[in-house]
Chains A and B, each alone.
Chain A
């Protein structure tokens, strides 16, 4: 659990930390969209430069970002190998039965790997620098036009924020239950698949039962505090779009437009 950095929030006061979550969400989505337009050296150079500047602006050491890539290492290797061996066309460097390494295969593997890394890193910037709750707020705010279509945006947002609120609590609980069962002689991670599945039951059942009891308590407490589903509520937490958001946003729009322009010019 310790080494699992992907999707984790790292507190800080950097330029990026202070940005409005809506700005960060929209910029990340735009970036991911434009990654698929990048197709040559110059476009990738712009994308990489933009990413590097963003990473630096988080004031989080680059090493921590790279560690975030570790859990996805095998997935990346796998994708790259598929591309290398099954990508066809161009000069054939090596062939063995239906497996071949071709020029086009290598190029597309390189492209895929590059896109993969860029997309992961830009999402990591978002999660490292933004509290999960702020992301939820941002999503709610971005979805708010859907309210006109009677889409229950506020209820969904509350559910999301409650879920996020209880993630640490449930993780804690899972650990306690695992310790208790380990003390009763359960060997996690030992034996074959069947054995392993059997060891999950003594964790999942208590975890589920406790979560259910918790949910009953929480809904009672919420009702006692005046919560009625579907009723209008005011909002304590509000997002504020600031100059830094506008500036960052413009930088992104210009850089990303440049990528598209370069692509169609060359």
Chain B
């Protein structure tokens, strides 16, 4: 059965009931559909990280409900029965290389499935499959994860979550701190996972170009509230509104706005350089093409 995730009037308070209680989420209503690619954007401190910890019930709503597949979680849900959810929804946290601990790459990737009762040899086979899937060379599998480069360690960590064989994969800024090549490779991996492994993807990111290129649904968070959701085109249609939340536009959209001032017209506003080029070409005079 495909897992979809629904938030219904979710509030979350840190240190609830103490004099130091802080509200981190306020009245969140949203739905993540199976097979979708949802991007979550918002300033640092807007509640994104608290939000994703609800996706596999690491946190339970202080009020309201979160429904993950056929399970509904509210403030009274007992911690005991939450474990199966962690297998359905895998989370790759920020700087996930910080969670590695095993002697070898393979053992580390196999750690997750073993916690869910998969026998060792089966877990190892699964681990190897996932390691190759994320593009780790076979020669690395017997090495200590701590001997690898930063980019490779991150792949190990991602493979470790994929080994749970989740239906939903949540990634919290998976490209943070990597160089441009590393960033590109990780994003290619993510799209490949969505299309080939039929995974539902939830991506937290600050990179609007990634949102424009890959997402089909966008959730905008600010001050613990979901201030908007919709398609990337709908979200990026209002530059002033985004600016008011300190969020930017994808490069292509931003550039198209400059071109509008130079007399060009676009409908709809382009989100990627290909869309921009497609709309731009008919507006250019003939001489330009002839040399081509």
Contacts and interface: CB of A to CB of B under 8 A. Distances in A.
Chains A and B share a contact (CB less than 8 Å):
yes
Interface of A: 2-3, 64, 173, 176-177, 179-187, 201-202, 205-206, 209-210
Interface of B: 15, 18-20, 53, 56, 58, 83, 86-87, 90-91, 93-94, 96, 98-101, 111-113, 115-116, 146, 160-161, 164
A206 B116 CA distance: 21
B184 to A, nearest CB: 25
Contacts, number: 61
Residue of A2, A183, A184, A206 with most partner-chain B CB within 10 A: A183
A51 B58 CA distance: 42
A177 B95 CA distance: 10
A205 B116 contact: no
A179 B58 contact: yes
Nearest to A185: B115
B148 to A, nearest CB: 13
11 contacts: A2-B20, A177-B99, A180-B98, A182-B86, A183-B86, A184-B160, A184-B161, A184-B164, A185-B116, A202-B99, A209-B146
B18 A205 contact: no
Contacts of B111: 184, 202
Residue of A177, A179, A181 with most partner-chain B CB within 10 A: A179
A181 B83 CA distance: 12
Name the 6 nearest CB pairs between A and B, nearest first.
Answer: A185-B115, A205-B101, A180-B99, A184-B112, A2-B15, A183-B91
Contact of B83 (A64, A179, A180, A185): A185
B164 A2 contact: no
B101 A185 contact: no
Given A2-B20, A182-B58, 11 more contacts: A64-B19, A176-B94, A179-B91, A180-B96, A180-B98, A183-B56, A185-B116, A185-B164, A186-B115, A201-B101, A206-B98
* Secondary structure dominating the interface of A: helix
Given A2-B18, A64-B19, A202-B111, A184 B98 contact: no
A181 B99 contact: yes
A180 to B, nearest CB: 4
Contact of A180 (B15, B87, B93): B93
Contact of B58 (A173, A183, A187): A183
A180 B96 CA distance: 8
A17 B19 CA distance: 19
A11 to B, nearest CB: 11
B115 A179 contact: no
A51 B146 CA distance: 53
Contacts of B90: 183
Contacts of A185: 83, 86-87, 112-113, 115-116, 164
B155 to A, nearest CB: 15
A186 B115 CA distance: 6
A3 B18 contact: yes
A176 B93 contact: yes
Nearest to B56: A183
A209 B98 CA distance: 8
Given A2-B15, A176-B93, A185-B87, A206 B161 contact: no
A52 to B, nearest CB: 21
